[in-house]
C-alpha cells in the first residue's frame, strides 16, 4: 500500500499535463491538480472572464472581468502553490501552434471544454500524438468523466454525438409549434434583418403589397420617417401582414391551429396616439440602454403579457436606433447584450401569442436564445476530482483500472457516482479506424463548397481540410497556398461535383484529410436525385459515421430534471454529455423501478450483484460492444 502510494506520487511529480479549458471544470481542475502534487501544467483557453462565470469559476473575481481565463487561473493557483510550473495560453486549441508535436510532449491531456467542435479536435490530436485523453462534461447536477487511450479504449468519437438541433426552415418561417421556434425566428430572422448585415439575405418576407411596387423592402426606413412610425410599421408587417399572408395558404392550416395576426392598434389600443413625438425616456443616464428599465419592468423572471411585450419591442427598437445607431448593420445576437435579449424576448413572445404558444419570461427566453449551459460549482468540483483520480491511473498505465464515471442527480443502485468499465474502440469509427463513409448526394447539382461546409467541416469536424479525387487534389484549405493554386481551388468550390477536374459521380471515392488533426478518411459517393426537404434538409446524407442523435436523447426527460427549459437549440448543453443521456435514461429507468419498490422505507436494497461495477447490459446498443479485458 505504502509503496503504491509512493509510486503514484512519483508519477504525479514527474508528469507533464495539458489542460484544455479554464472555465467551470477548468478552475476546479487546476486547483485540484496543484493540490495533488502536479508540477508541470499547461493550460489553454480562448475565453475571457464574464460576470456570469463568477458563481462557480472561483479563481476569478469581479476585477478580472474581461481578462484571459487561462492567465488569471494560472496566477490565482500560483498564489497557493508558488513552486510549481503553470504555463498558460490565451488561445484557441485549434490554432496551428497546438499541433501533433505540441501534444506529444504531454503524458496526459485533460479536457474541460464546453463544445463539441473543440472536443473532437482535441480527440483527433490525442489519437495522432498517442497521448491519453481524459474527457469530461457537466450540466446542472449531471456530469461524466471518460478515459480515451488509443488502441485500448474507445475514442471520444466512437459513439454517436448529439449535434446541435436544427429546424426545418418552414417551421421557423410559417409553422412554429414551440417557443424555441419563435426564439429562432426572433433572433435569426427579425433581429438579423433589422440590426444585422443588410447584405445577408434571410427567409423573412420583406415585401408588402400595400405600398405598391415603388418600395421593395419594408424594412428600409423612409426618409424623415418618425422612429415610432417606423417601429409600428415593422410590427404590423411581421406580426400582422405576414401572418395574413401565411393564412392564405389553406393547405398549411388543414391540420394545424390557425395563427392570429397581431396589429399594434390591437395590442396597444390606448396608446395609439400618444406614442408619437420624442422618447419619454427618464433614464438617459443609464450606462447600457434597456427597454425593460426604461419601462419600469424590474423582474426578469416575470412573464409579460402581449401589451407589455409590444411595449418592450417598440422601446427596444427605438433604443437601438437612438442609442446604438452606429452598430446597426453589424450586430450579431449576443446573450450578454441586454437590449438584444429584450428585443428577442418580446418579439418571440408576440409571435408565440399569435400562434397560441405559451409565453416566457426574459430569463427563460435568454436561456433558450443564448444556448445557456446550466452550471453549478459543486458538480464541477466533483467532476474535477474524478478527472484527477483517472489521470493518476493513466500516468501509472494501469488500464484495467480505468473507469468512466457518471455523476447522477438521483441515485442508481445506491450510487450517486457510478463507475463503468470503458468500452473497446469501435471498429467502424471513422476517426480511430479506417472505415470508409458513404455520402448520398446529387452530383449534378451539388457544389463542392456545399460538401465541404455541410459534411467535411460540419459533420466530420475538420478544420483545414484537403480533398482528393484519386490523385487529383481539388481543394486545400489554409494559409501558404500559391496564388494560382488558391484561385484554382476557389473556382473548384463553385463547381458542381460532376464537373470538377476529376468528375465526382456515382461510385467515386473521395479522400479527405486534415493535416493538423492528422485525420484522413474516405468517402464513397452515391448519386441520388431526390431528398426529403424536411428530413434531409442538407440535400445530402452521410452514413457509416456515428449518426447524430437529435431529439430522442431527452425524450425520457428523466436526466434533465432541473426544471429548466428543455435543451432544444442548446448544442453545448447536449454535447457536454455525448451518448451519456442515452445511458442515463437506461439507468434512470431502473431507478424508477427501484424507487417504486422501496419508497421511503428504511430498508437497504440488497441488490444481488457482486462488488464489481455496473454493467450497462440492459442497453442493447451498448451490450454489443466488447469490454476491456
CA 141 from chain centre, in angstroms, equals: 19
Is the CB of 190 or the CB of 418 nearer to another protein? 418
C-alpha cell at position 48 = 475571457
Q: Please state the closest distance from residue 418 (CB atom) to another protein, in A.
A: 7
Q: Please state the closest distance from residue 368 (CB atom) to another protein, in A.
A: 11
Q: Please state the closest distance from residue 410 (CB atom) to another protein, in A.
A: 6
**Around Cβ 67, how many Cβ atoms within 10 Å?**
14
Is the CB of 170 or the CB of 605 nearer to another protein? 605
C-alpha cell at position 111 = 479536457
Is the CB of 220 or the CB of 607 nearer to another protein? 607
Q: Please state the closest distance from residue 133 (CB atom) to another protein, in A.
A: 18
Q: How far apart are CA 370 and CA 334, in angstroms?
A: 7
Q: Kindly list the distances between the CA atom of residue 37 and the CA atoms of 41, 80, 290, 393, 552, in Å, as whole numbers in the listed order.
A: 11, 12, 49, 14, 43
- Using only C-alpha atoms, what is the Rg of the chain? 27
Q: Please state the closest distance from residue 295 (CB atom) to another protein, in A.
A: 6
Q: Please state the closest distance from residue 451 (CB atom) to another protein, in A.
A: 38
C-alpha cell at position 435 = 472505415
Residues 498-528: b if buried by 16+ CB within 10 A, e if exposed: bebeeebeeebebbbbbbbbebebbbebbbb
Helix H or strand E encompassing 605 = none
- Residues serving a catalytic function are 170
Is the CB of 480 or the CB of 563 nearer to another protein? 563
Q: Please state the closest distance from residue 34 (CB atom) to another protein, in A.
A: 8
Give 250's contacts (C-beta < 8 A, 6+ positions apart). Answer: none
Is the CB of 199 or the CB of 301 nearer to another protein? 301
Q: Are the C-beta atoms of residues 138 and 375 closer than 8 Å to each other?
A: yes
Q: Please state the closest distance from residue 333 (CB atom) to another protein, in A.
A: 17
**Angle, CA 255 vertex, CA 252 and CA 261 arms, to 5°:** 55
Q: How far apart are CA 532 and CA 516, in angstroms?
A: 35
Is the CB of 64 or the CB of 193 nearer to another protein? 64
Is the CB of 56 or the CB of 120 nearer to another protein? 56
Q: Are the C-beta atoms of residues 58 and 27 closer than 8 Å to each other?
A: yes
C-alpha cell at position 323 = 442609442
What is the layout of strands, in order, in the sheet containing 437-441?
Answer: 472-476, 465-469, 509-514, 519-527, 437-441, 540-543
Among 355, 178, 334, CA closest to 260: 355
Q: Are the C-beta atoms of residues 469 and 510 closer than 8 Å to each other?
A: yes
- Kindly report the three-state secondary structure assignment for every residue of 306-366: HHHHHHHHHHHHHHHHHHCHHHCCCCCCCCCCHHHHHHHHHHHHHHHHHCCCCCCCHHHHH
Among 307, 306, 290, CA closest to 298: 290
Is the CB of 81 or the CB of 150 nearer to another protein? 81
Q: Please state the closest distance from residue 491 (CB atom) to another protein, in A.
A: 47
Is the CB of 102 or the CB of 402 nearer to another protein? 402
Q: How far apart are CA 262 and CA 354, in angstroms?
A: 7
Amino acid at each position: 500500500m505504502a509503496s503504491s502510494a509512493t509510486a503514484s506520487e512519483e508519477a504525479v511529480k514527474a508528469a507533464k499535463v495539458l489542460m484544455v479549458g479554464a472555465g467551470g471544470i477548468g478552475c476546479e481542475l487546476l486547483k485540484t491538480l496543484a493540490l495533488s502534487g502536479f508540477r508541470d501544467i499547461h493550460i489553454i483557453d480562448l475565453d475571457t472572464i464574464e460576470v456570469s462565470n463568477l458563481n462557480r469559476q472561483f479563481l476569478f473575481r469581479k476585477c478580472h472581468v474581461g481578462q484571459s481565463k487561462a492567465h488569471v487561473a494560472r496566477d490565482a493557483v500560483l498564489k497557493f502553490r508558488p513552486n510549481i510550473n503553470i504555463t498558460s495560453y490565451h488561445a484557441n486549441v485549434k490554432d496551428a501552434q497546438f499541433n501533433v508535436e505540441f501534444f506529444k510532449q504531454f503524458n496526459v491531456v485533460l479536457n474541460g471544454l464546453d463544445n463539441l467542435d473543440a472536443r473532437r479536435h482535441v480527440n483527433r490530436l490525442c489519437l495522432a500524438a498517442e497521448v491519453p485523453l481524459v474527457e469530461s462534461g457537466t450540466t446542472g447536477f449531471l456530469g461524466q468523466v471518460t478515459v480515451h487511450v488509443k488502441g485500448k479504449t474507445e475514442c471520444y468519437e466512437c459513439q454517436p454525438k448529439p449535434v446541435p438541433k436544427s429546424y426545418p426552415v418552414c417551421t421557423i418561417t410559417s409553422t412554429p409549434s414551440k417557443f424555441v421556434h419563435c426564439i429562432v425566428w426572433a433572433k435569426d430572422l427579425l433581429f438579423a434583418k433589422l440590426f444585422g448585415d443588410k447584405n445577408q439575405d434571410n427567409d423573412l418576407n420583406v415585401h408588402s403589397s400595400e405600398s405598391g411596387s415603388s418600395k421593395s423592402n419594408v424594412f428600409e426606413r423612409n426618409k424623415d420617417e418618425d422612429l415610432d412610425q417606423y417601429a409600428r410599421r415593422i410590427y404590423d408587417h411581421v406580426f400582422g401582414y405576414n401572418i395574413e399572408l401565411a393564412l392564405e395558404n389553406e393547405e398549411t392550416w388543414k391540420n394545424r391551429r390557425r395563427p392570429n395576426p397581431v396589429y399594434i392598434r390591437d395590442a396597444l389600443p390606448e396608446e395609439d396616439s400618444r406614442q408619437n413625438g420624442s422618447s419619454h425616456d427618464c433614464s438617459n443616464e443609464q450606462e447600457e440602454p434597456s427597454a425593460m428599465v426604461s419601462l419600469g419592468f424590474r423582474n426578469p423572471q416575470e412573464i409579460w403579457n402581449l401589451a407589455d411585450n409590444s411595449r418592450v419591442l417598440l422601446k427596444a427598437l427605438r433604443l437601438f436606433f437612438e442609442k446604438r445607431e452606429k452598430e446597426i448593420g453589424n450586430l450579431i445576437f449576443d446573450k450578454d447584450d441586454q437590449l438584444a435579449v429584450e428585443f428577442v424576448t418580446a418579439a418571440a413572445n408576440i409571435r408565440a401569442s399569435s400562434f397560441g404558444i405559451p409565453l416566457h419570461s426574459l430569463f427563460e427566453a435568454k436561456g433558450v436564445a443564448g444556448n445557456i449551459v446550466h452550471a453549478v460549482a459543486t458538480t464541477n468540483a466533483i467532476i474535477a476530482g474524478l478527472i484527477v483520480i483517472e489521470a493518476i491511473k493513466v500516468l501509472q498505465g494501469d488500464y484495467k483500472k480505468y473507469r468512466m464515471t457518471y455523476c447522477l442527480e438521483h441515485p442508481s443502485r445506491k450510487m450517486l457516482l457510478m463507475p463503468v468499465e470503458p468500452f473497446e474502440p469501435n471498429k467502424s469509427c471513422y476517426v480511430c479506424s479506417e472505415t470508409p463513409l458513404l455520402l448520398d448526394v446529387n452530383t449534378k447539382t451539388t457544389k463542392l463548397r456545399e460538401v465541404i461546409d455541410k459534411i467535411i467541416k460540419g459533420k466530420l469536424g475538420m478544420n483545414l481540410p484537403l480533398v482528393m479525387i484519386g490523385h487529383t487534389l481539388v481543394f486545400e484549405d489554409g494559409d501558404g497556398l500559391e496564388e494560382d493554386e488558391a484561385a484554382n481551388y476557389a473556382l473548384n468550390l463553385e463547381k458542381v461535383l460532376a464537373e470538377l477536374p476529376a468528375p465526382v459521380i456515382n461510385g467515386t471515392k473521395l479522400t479527405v484529410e486534415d493535416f493538423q488533426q492528422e485525420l484522413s478518411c474516405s468517402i464513397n459517393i452515391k448519386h441520388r436525385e431526390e431528398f426529403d426537404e424536411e428530413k434531409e434538409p442538407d440535400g445530402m446524407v452521410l452514413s457509416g459515421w456515428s449518426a447524430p442523435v437529435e431529439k430522442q436523447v431527452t425524450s425520457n426527460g428523466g436526466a434533465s430534471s432541473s426544471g429548466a427549459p428543455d435543451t432544444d437549440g442548446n448544442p453545448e448543453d447536449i454535447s457536454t454529455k455525448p451518448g451519456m443521456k442515452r445511458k442515463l435514461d437506461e439507468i434512470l429507468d431502473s431507478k424508477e423501478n427501484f424507487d417504486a419498490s422501496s419508497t421511503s422505507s428504511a430498508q437497504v436494497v440488497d441488490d444481488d450483484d457482486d462488488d464489481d461495477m455496473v454493467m450497462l447490459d440492459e442497453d442493447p446498443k451498448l451490450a454489443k460492444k466488447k469490454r476491456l479485458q
